[in-house]
Chain A
Amino acid sequence: MSDISRPLAAQVTELLLRRARWSPIEIAFWLVAASTIWLFPARHLILTEICIWALFALSLDLILGYAGIISLGHAAFFGLGAYAAGLIGKYDIIGEPALALVASGLAAAGLGFATSFLVLRGSDLTRLMVTFGISLLLRELANKYSEISGGADGLQGVEIKPLLGQFRFDLYGHTGYAYSLVVLFVLFLLARRVVQSPFGLSLQAIRGNPLRSSAVGIATNWRLVAIYTLSAGYAGVAGALLAQTQAFASLEMFSVERSADVLLILIIGGTGYLYGGIVGALIFRFLQDYLSTLTARYWQFWIGLILIAIVLVGRDRIAGWTMPLRKLADALGRWRPGRPSATGGKP
C-alpha cells in the first residue's frame, strides 16, 4: 500500500470498528441493570416482565429494524416457546430449566425456519397477513388440542425444577429475575455480534435496497430466512421465560394483541439499534402501570393515542430528538484517555 494510503486505511478501519465499540453509556446501562438484582428486590416481578418483553421486542427488531420485515404475528413464536417450555416442565421431559429454555427456543426457531419461506414473497400486506394468519393458526391448534394444551384455561400443573439444580423459582421472583436478566444479556450479546458482522450489514442492505443487494451478489432470500429463524428462536426463548417464571402458559400468548403490543413496544423504543426493545419495554411497562392507576381497564386507549401521536409526529422526527443523546454517546465512545486519536485529533 502506498504511503498516502496507510493513514487512510487506519482511518477507515477506525471508522468501521467504531460502529461495534461498546460506548460507556452501554456499559453503564448493563452495570445498572445487573445491580437491580440486589438493589430492588421488591420490584423483581415487574422487572422480570420487562426483561421478557424486552427480549421479545429485541427479536422483532432483528427482523423489522434490521431486515425490514413487518410482522403482525410474532406472538406465534412467543406462544410456541411458552407452551414448549410449559409442557417440558409439566411432563418433566428435561429437568434443567436452562436446557428446557434452549429446547423451547430451538422449537420456535424450527417453526420460524419453516414459515420463513412464506414471508419472503409478496408485498407488505401479504406478509402482514401471512404472519397474522400463522399466529391465528397456532392459537387454533392449541385451542383444538386442549387435552395437551389445556385449551382456554391454559396449561395447568406446570412445575419448574430449580435452576442449575440449586436456585428455586420462588414466589417473589428473585431467581426468575436474575435468570431472565442473564438470558436477556447473553442473547443481547449474540444479537449485537450478529448485527455488527458482515451478515448484519448485508441485512441492512437488503432492507434498504433489495434490488441492489442481489446486484452485488447477496443471496437475499437465504439471509432473510436466517435472520427470521434467529428472530423466531429469540421470541421463543422469551415465551419460554414467561412460562417458566410464571409456571403457566395460555392461549393469550399467541394473540394478535400480544403481537401488536410488541410491535408498539419496539416502535416506542426505536428500531434498528438493538436497544429499542429494552427502552420500549421499560417505557411501556411503566406507562402501563401509570395509566392503569389513572384509568383502570382502559389504559389501552391511551396507548393507542400515543401510537397515533408517534405516527403523526413522525418516527424520524422523534429519532431526531434523541440525536443529541446519541451524539453524546458517540463522543464518549471516541474518547480514550492518554492516547492520541487515530484520526489525528479530528472527530
Chain B
Amino acid sequence: MTILFDGIAYGMLLFVLACGLSVTLGLMNFINLAHGAFAMAGGYITVVLVNRLGVPFLLGLPLAFLFGAALGAVLERTLYVHVYAKSHLDQVLFTIGLVFMAVAGVDYVMGSSQQFINIPTMLQGQFDVFGVRIGRYRLMIIVICGLLTVALQFILASTRFGSRLRAAVDDQRVARGLGINVGAVFGLTFAFGSGLAALGGALGAEILGLDPNFPLKYLIYFLIVVTVGGTSSITGPFVASILLGIGDVMGKYYVPTLSAFVIYSIMIVMLLWRPQGLFARASAR
C-alpha cells in the first residue's frame, strides 16, 4: 500500500512537471524538448535559496515557481517565438540546443554532483495510518499537487482566460478570428507552464534526484505523459501521470531490473495503438 501511495505521489509530481509541456504541444503544436530544463532550473534555484540563503523551504517553492515563470516568459518572447512557425525538425533541434546549453551551464555553475535541498524536519520521516507507512514529504507533494490540479481545472473550465486558452488549443485560426490574442495567451501559458515545471523540479529534487542531466533523464517521462494523456484536457495527462507514476514505482519494487524496460515497451505499444493518446478526442491533431 505504501508503494501505491508512493506511486501516486510520484505520478502527481510528474503531472505538475509535465502539464506545461502538454499545453504547449496542444496549443502551438510545438515540441519543447527543453521543458525539463525549466524544471531543473526550479530545482537548482531552490537549492540556492534554501541551502545557501537560508530561505524557508515552503517559501522557496513559490519563489521557484516565479523564477521558472519569469525564465519561461523571457525565453518565450525572445527566442521561442521565432521558432513557432518552423518545422518540427527545427523545433527539435532548437530545444535540444537549449538543453545542451542548460546542462552545460548548470554543470559549470553548480557542479555535476547531485544536489539535495535541505528539507525542514517536519517534512521528514514517516508516520503510520492504518498500518500503511506514509512519508510526510510525499504526503505534502500529494496535497500541493492535488490543490494545483484542482486550481488548474478551475482556471481552465471556469475563467475567461481558461476558455480563451481552450478555444486557442481547439482551433488557433478561429480563435484569432474571434479576437482572442493568441500570442498573449500563449506567452502567459508558456510562462505558467514553465513555472509549474520549476515548482515540480523544486518539489522533485528530493524524490527524483537533481543533477545537470535531469532534463534528458526525465524527458521520456514527460513525453510519455503528454502523448499518452493527449493534449486536449487536463484530465488526460493527469490520469496518464498517475498511471505512469504507479507503474514505475511498482515496477521498480517488484521487477527492479526490468522496470524501465516494461515502461518503454508499454509506451511504444501505446503509441502505436493510439497515436493520438488514450484520452485525446477523435479530432485531435
Verify A122–B108 contact, CB threshold 8 A: no
Secondary structure of the B side of the interface? Answer: helix
Provide the main secondary structure of the chain A interface: helix
Taking the nearest CB of chain A, how far is it from the CB of B27, in angstroms?
14
Judging by beta carbons under 8 Å apart, are B82 and A312 in contact?
yes
Given contacts A118-B268, A311-B86, contact A140 B96 (CB under 8 A): no
Residue interface bits B22-49, CB-to-A below 8 A is 1, else 0: 0001000001000000000000000000
Would you call A21 an interface residue if the criterion is a C-beta within 8 Å of the partner chain's C-beta atoms? Answer: no
Is there a chain A Cβ closer than 8 Å to B93's Cβ? yes
* A307-B97 contact given A133-B220, A133-B264, A134-B268, CB 8 Å threshold: yes
A307 to B79: give the CA distance in the assembly, Å.
13
User: Within 8 Å of chain A (Cβ to Cβ): is B129?
Assistant: no
* Interface: A123 (CB within 8 A): yes
Report how far A140 CA is from B260 CA in the complex, Å.
7
Please give the distance in Å from B237's CB to the nearest CB on chain A: 14
Cα–Cα, bound, A64→B267 (Å)? 23
Report A56 CB to chain B, min CB distance, Å: 17
Most chain B C-beta atoms within 10 Å of own C-beta, residue among A129, A297, A299: A129
**Do A305 and B220 contact each other (CB < 8 Å), given the known contacts A136-B260, A315-B90?**
no
How far, in Å, is A287 (CB) from chain B's closest CB? 13
A126 to B275, CA, bound (A): 7
Given contacts A140-B261, A301-B101, A307-B100, contact A126 B90 (CB under 8 A): no
Instruction: Report B81-107 residues with CB < 8 Å from chain A CB.
Output: 82-83, 86, 88-90, 92-94, 96-105, 107
- Residue A257 interfacial (CB < 8 Å): yes
Q: Which residues of A contact B96 (CB under 8 A)?
A: 260, 263-264, 304, 307
Which of A130, A133, A264 lies at the interface centre, i.e. has the most chain B CB atoms within 10 A of its CB? Answer: A133
Cβ of B184 under 8 Å from chain A: no
Q: Does B285 contact A (CB under 8 A)?
A: yes
Report B-chain residues with C-beta under 8 Å of the C-beta of A129. 220, 223-224, 227, 267, 271
Residue B272, interface by CB 8 Å: yes
0/1 string, B192-230, CB within 8 A of A gives 1: 000000000000000000000000100110011001000
The residue that B272 contacts in the complex, of A118, A300, A301, with Cβ under 8 A, is: A118
In angstroms, Cα B92 to Cα A263, docked, is 10
Bound state CA distance, A307 and B219, in angstroms? Answer: 19
- Is A339 part of the contact surface with B, judged by Cβ < 8 Å? no
In the complex, the chain A residue whose C-beta lies closest to that of B223 is: A129
Chain A residues whose C-beta falls within 8 Å of the C-beta of B220 in the assembled complex: 129, 132-133, 136
Docked pose: A72 CA to B93 CA in angstroms: 10
Most buried by A among B25, B31, B100, B267: B100
Q: In whole angstroms, how far apart are the Cα atoms of A128 and B99 in the complex? A: 16
Interface residue B257 (Cβ < 8 Å from any Cβ of A): yes
Indicate whether A14 reaches chain B with its CB closer than 8 angstroms: no
A304 to B216 CA separation, bound complex (whole angstroms): 14
Taking the closest CB of chain A, its distance from the CB of B279, in whole angstroms, is 15
How far is the CB of B85 from the nearest CB of chain A, in Å? 11
B159 within 8 A of A: no
Contacts of A126 in B (CB 8 A): 227, 271, 275
Is the CB–CB distance between B267 and A301 below 8 Å? Answer: no
Is A6 an interface residue when CB atoms closer than 8 A count as contact? no
Alpha-carbon distance A129/B21, docked complex (angstroms)? 14
CB pair A304–B93 under 8 Å, yes or no, is no
CA distance A297 to B112 in the complex (A): 11
- As a 0/1 sequence over residues 255 to 266 of chain A, the CB contacts with chain B under 8 angstroms (1 = contact) are 011001001100
Query: Is A263 within 8 A of B275, CB to CB?
Result: no
B88, A301: Cβ atoms closer than 8 Å:
no
User: A133 near B92 (CB under 8 angstroms)?
Assistant: no
**5 new A-B contacts at CB < 8 Å, known A303-B100, A308-B79:** A72-B92, A126-B275, A133-B267, A136-B260, A137-B265
24 contacts between A and B (CB under 8 A): A70-B89, A70-B92, A122-B271, A124-B31, A124-B89, A125-B25, A125-B31, A126-B227, A129-B220, A130-B268, A133-B220, A134-B264, A137-B268, A140-B261, A140-B264, A260-B100, A263-B93, A301-B108, A304-B98, A307-B97, A308-B101, A310-B93, A312-B94, A315-B90
Q: Please give me the 10 A-B residue pairs with the lowest Cβ-Cβ distance, nearest first.
A: A304-B100, A307-B97, A301-B104, A304-B101, A122-B275, A308-B97, A124-B88, A311-B94, A304-B97, A300-B104
